[in-house]
Chains A and B, each alone.
Chain A
């Protein structure tokens, strides 16, 4: 499956995300021109709430994510291909100051749209990793 299949989809965080417990349903939409790596995650319940996300491997090719059993069960993942992984982007004052949350990626079941923000405990990844790469 390619990245494109996961875009323009609706995803649901059953338990919200930290800081936004009531934000559950989001629409994923490609942002920018064809070469843009960024995806806009717009909350369907709060028109003022949106995030920018991106696939971490585009910036950190060696990024490793080990999805724990509880998450696999919670999202109903049957195989690795089911899982879409995205990191939230915090936009800095200048483009180069922008960061990626590598510690807490969003995992999505591509088939069902179930999503959750996981924590990669003991991974050593940062909440604010420079988007310019390692």
Chain B
């Protein structure tokens, strides 16, 4: 892992178009600003891991699993939804 020392208001470039800026250091917390192209998704690592895991366990349900959905009915009617 590359390790760099930075102060508040200093930045790091990743490639040509990702800028990571240290905004504030207070105790054991660091506020970081990230400027990246719109096609790059930026996530907190633990949240990304949680989404990865959730997506993997939700992916490609079996036919039998799909059948169980037939028993589930929502509280609200689809017609009245603002979705």
Chain A residues with CB under 8 Å of chain B are 2-3, 6, 14-15, 17-20, 31-33, 35-38, 48-52, 54-59, 61, 70, 73-74, 84-86, 88-92, 94-95, 98, 101, 103-104, 116-117, 119, 121, 127-128, 131, 133
Tell me which residues across on chain A come within 8 A of B52, comparing CB atoms.
18-19
Tell me which residues across on chain A come within 8 A of B56, comparing CB atoms.
19
In the docked arrangement, what's the CA distance between A78 and B69, Å? 34
Question: B50 and A103: CB pair below 8 A?
Answer: yes
Question: B76 and A58: CB pair below 8 A?
Answer: yes
Question: Which of A3, A52, A58 touches B58 (beta carbons < 8 Å)?
Answer: A52
Residue of B nearest to A35 (CB): B73
Question: A55 and B78: CB pair below 8 A?
Answer: yes
Question: B54 and A127: CB pair below 8 A?
Answer: yes
How many residues of B are counted as interface, with CB atoms below 8 angstroms from the partner's CB atoms?
Answer: 37
In the docked arrangement, what's the CA distance between A57 and B82, Å? 8
Residue of A nearest to B73 (CB): A35
Nearest CB of chain A from residue B79's CB, rounded to whole Å: 7
Question: B69 and A61: CB pair below 8 A?
Answer: no
Question: A20 and B55: CB pair below 8 A?
Answer: yes
Residue of A nearest to B50 (CB): A127
Nearest CB of chain A from residue B48's CB, rounded to whole Å: 6
Question: A98 and B72: CB pair below 8 A?
Answer: yes
